[in-house]
Amino acid sequence: MFSDVNFLLVGNSRLHWANYSQNQSKFFHTKKEQKFPENIDINKLIWSSVGKLPNFSLQEENEIKTKDIQLSNLPDYFGIDRALACLAALKTIENPFKKDLLIADFGTILSITKLNSNGSILGGQLIPGFLTQLKSMEQNTKNLKVPKKYEIPTKDFLINTEEAILKGVINSLTSVIQSSFNPLKDILITCGGDSEFITKSLKKNKKNVINSPNLVMEGMIIHHLSLK
């Protein structure tokens, strides 16, 4: 048993942190250029990475890799964030009817991963995420800019360009979820930095949709606890 452990997931755009102490978990997120938190011992930090490593040295022996996660049919080349999310969903989501688990991680990339109730990976999809789509339109066109506010319009067709951009991107993300999600057979778990407000835009049966924004970090904690 351990009383106080810190975890880090190096993402593509941010650093994701978790502290586990006295059976309670706390989560926070920082930009990559921010200073290393003073209250964390870097030599004891448990970490994983899906993005470019930050400018501080992490202990190689403390890294959790995809091959360390015990799930059936999990390829080593799967991102560790997807593997950890699957582990957390399998261990924490109530699933009395043994439905498949469909995990949608709304980050830099929208990763969709499906596994059955026995923990066997069935596959998934990868789609450019919310900000990735917005930035792509700005970079590849002359007149389109990333909106300064992310207030999603309720109307389907908009005159204002920024509103039209937001609505189009949200529709692209929610539509791919809705086309993959069968509430009769699946439980949908959404996670990631953009998941809370995008989940609100999903129109299917909300009883079968669970938002767990820190699911990946929960997976890191669950994995580490299992080794004790």
Q: Give the C-alpha separation, 165 to 152, whole Å.
A: 10
Closest CA to 115 of 152, 146, 97, 89: 89
Count of the separate structural domains present in the chain: 1
Asked whether 124 and 111 are in contact (CB, 8 A), the reply is yes
> Which sign, positive or negative, has the C-alpha torsion 85, 28, 209, 127?
negative
Mean pLDDT, the chain, as a whole number? Answer: 94
Note the pLDDT tens digit of each residue in 132-142: 999 999 999 99
**155 domain-assigned:** yes
Residue 144: CATH number of its domain: 3.30.420.40
Q: Give the C-alpha separation, 145 to 162, whole Å.
A: 8
Q: Give the C-alpha separation, 68 to 80, whole Å.
A: 9
**103 domain-assigned:** yes
The phi and psi torsions of 25 (rounded to 5 degrees) equal -115, 140
**139 domain-assigned:** yes
Q: Please give the pLDDT value at position 1.
A: 41
Mean pLDDT, rounded, for 9-30: 95
Mean pLDDT, rounded, for 208-218: 95
Which residue would you say has higher pLDDT here, 102 or 22?
102
**140 domain-assigned:** yes
Q: What angle do CA 132, 136, 139 make, to 5 degrees?
A: 140
Percent of the chain with pLDDT strictly greater than 90: 86
Note the pLDDT tens digit of each residue in 45-94: 999 999 999 889 999 999 999 999 999 999 999 999 999 999 999 999 99
> Which of 105-109, 114-118, 150-154, 164-168 shows the lowest per-residue confidence on average (mean pLDDT)?
150-154
What range does the domain containing 174 cover? 97-215
- Residue 13 predicted with pLDDT over 60: yes
**144 domain-assigned:** yes
pLDDT band, residue 201 (cuts 50/70/90): confident
Mean pLDDT, rounded, for 188-208: 85
Q: Please give the pLDDT value at position 55.
A: 87
Q: Please give the pLDDT value at position 3.
A: 65
Q: DSSP per residue over 126-161, as a string?
A: EEE-HHHHHHHHHHH-SS----S-----SSSS-SSH
Asked whether 88 and 215 are in contact (CB, 8 A), the reply is yes
Instruction: Supply 71's token pair.
Output: 């799930």
Q: Please give the pLDDT value at position 204.
A: 58
Q: Give the C-alpha separation, 140 to 67, whole Å.
A: 37
Q: Please give the pLDDT value at position 228.
A: 77
**17 domain-assigned:** no
- Residues in contact with 219: Cβ distance below 8 Å, sequence separation at least 6, in sequence order: 69, 83, 84, 85, 86, 87, 88
**206 domain-assigned:** yes
**128 domain-assigned:** yes
Asked whether 189 and 89 are in contact (CB, 8 A), the reply is yes
